Structure 1
């Protein structure tokens, strides 16, 4: 049987069929692997938990990589509730490589961190038939397992066929849930030369892929006023919380100015005892936008808001646009169509949809690397105590990734 994938042709030869059959028998091992990894809390701030997971993951990938290293990342700045800029330590990145000199190169990536902190009550795995509930089982430790088995399958293919013209790099970071602030430089260093990329974020609950993604930026506006006694000297005070509320209103009014662009005021830090005029407040907000062309106009409006400062007060803007939009250009669409046709081979009916969510696929796309970023497991309710994944999606998603990889072999 011969399948035509855009410019690529792939035959389901006996070796390929044999490896697909091998993957079909790996579900129990995949579930066990996933349960072991998901049992370790890896909230972004849990550096010890992330290091523990990285050591276990490194042990599993060692046998199929030429070399694998754990790279530290620089501390990143953050704004405290008092408006002070402090350093935040982050866990590192596992970088593994195979056949660096091969004709064609792939980058495969997924994050090891979750949104659940070490003291989160959501720590227990629960199996109910075909559904596994637990922290990170879908986002994205299930995808990490899928990646591991897809690459094990690829290496079986290379051994069977002798074709070593596809090399690959894995990038497993620990800070994606806060925007890959520390690991973005490692993506630029190790991912920019790849011909294509696969990222193992969970697919949509329907099983479909994500196509176009919006860009995203996280910001803080620090407002500094003057503290005063609320009874004796109220009028000597400059109320930072009131000024912050006005900033929040102006930010919210930006919604609707540009199509499909949203400004979400998420939190205002500030205030204290009722008898003190508050002197510091911090407005935290997120922007989602469909086109990089909007960044300049949005930045202009943010500066305008910060400069519109009441007398006796000071405002400062922090943060920035950390994930550019991921447009559906021609190379990206060709790769999506290839994945879709690979899915048809194993009975998956795949389509793709646009979303406002962002991931490391945005960062790779900005580096010029076409990538499909929802190659992970089927599940849902991510970022909530109801997170789940479907066990019977593990094998098909690994088969899908394997077929996609060999469709790119020269």
Structure 2
């Protein structure tokens, strides 16, 4: 299959350039659906059937199945959205410098979309029967927590033995075998505005109330147990000489073990259940939305299969745990043997310096194809 893929490298880069040069931030439905339309056409050319699940606000999700596939044993998941605002693609379009490609979403995860497509193309040429064993979910909202696609992923992961999550490999080429879970909360505080010089006694500061909440929330962090709570965004007040009538905070929570979710959720709710500053009211939204991906015996067995495959291809496979979240958490929590980071190698995701290591594009596509072939023959 490697020889086949080497002849397709120019095609792969051409498709990658096309995808990177389309703005597809999580809130830009039009762009995500444009990317989805391109991918849909390619999958149909390969011979797959594509079901588009329309979403009114978020990008559409797609379920891709090979005709005649009665019992696919694998699910592959790849997201089409990025974190970048509209206009980024025209400001810094796809480019190549030396052995690296750059552009918004180039590694997270438009290169992975190319990798998945060409792994399947290689299999069609060499082991077409393997295509009946894999089902693919492409989603449009992973970067904002997969609010619409989670149910789709979980529906089609049911009954599968293996899940291949197409996030990029780490900078050193490692796959991901464990991820922290977590969630997000938003706190909205209402106080009472007043002139801070003329009648401050008539005001009730929403910012003061929010400050109490931030201190208490941050105190929930316990690094030794793998729990972190961080208020990453705050907003409040109307002017420097006004007692703040309103304030808001947005909270990121990370957990390492599933059993921590209930306790941390309860503690956040208890903190926000009553006011520290008399006269303020508090509204709390959100919750834990991703379970952790735990490295278990299933994961280890799957990893060994990939390592053996990599050894035969001259690719040394290593693995790592990471604090970031992905759709791997959903399949892992369902008991499906899950490996993440099966895309090509790159780094600096979500930044202006995001890059793909070009020499890994063909190699990691070949590795993915061979892993799918092995799993299909089990």
TM-score using structure 2 length: 0.95
Aligned-partner Cα distance in 2 for 1:32–1:165: 24
Q: Report the CA distance between 1:360 and its aligned residue.
A: 0.6
**Aligned partner of 1:286 among 230, 252, 273:** 252
**Aligned partner of 1:41 among 23, 30, 51:** 23
Q: Report the CA distance between 1:110 and its aligned residue.
A: 0.8
Counterpart position of 1:118: 86
Contact kept? 1:122, 1:385, Cα under 8 Å: no
- CA distance change for structure 1 residues 59 and 165 in 2, over 3 Å: closer, same or farther? closer
Counterpart position of 2:331: 364
Aligned-partner Cα distance in 1 for 2:213–2:111: 41
SS at match of 1:73: coil
Counterpart position of 1:146: 115
Q: Report the CA distance between 1:201 and its aligned residue.
A: 0.7
Q: Report the CA distance between 1:99 and its aligned residue.
A: 4.7
Segments of structure 2 that go 5 or more residues without pairing to the other structure are: none
SS at match of 2:50: strand
Q: Are 1:109 and 2:77 matched, yes or no? A: yes
SS at match of 1:181: coil
SS at match of 1:408: helix
Q: Report the CA distance between 1:274 and its aligned residue.
A: 2.2
Contact kept? 2:265, 2:288, Cα under 8 Å: no
Counterpart position of 1:325: 292
Aligned-partner Cα distance in 2 for 1:348–1:277: 62
Counterpart position of 2:63: 95
Aligned counterparts, 1:240-259, within 5 A: 240-256=206-222, 259=225
Contact kept? 2:174, 2:319, Cα under 8 Å: yes
Counterpart position of 1:184: 150
RMSD of the TM alignment (CA)? 1.7
Counterpart position of 2:127: 158
Q: Report the CA distance between 1:102 and its aligned residue.
A: 4.0
Segments of structure 1 that go 5 or more residues without pairing to the other structure are: 1-18, 75-88
Q: Report the CA distance between 1:258 and its aligned residue.
A: 5.5
**Aligned partner of 2:139 among 173, 177, 184:** 173
When structure 1 is superposed on structure 2, of 225-234 and 42-51 the one drifting more is 225-234
CA offsets 1:182-236 (integer angstroms, 9 cap, x no match): 1111112222222211111110111111111110211111111112222332112
Q: Report the CA distance between 1:252 and its aligned residue.
A: 1.2
- CA distance change for structure 1 residues 379 and 95 in 2, over 3 Å: closer, same or farther? same
Which structure is higher in helix share?
Answer: 2
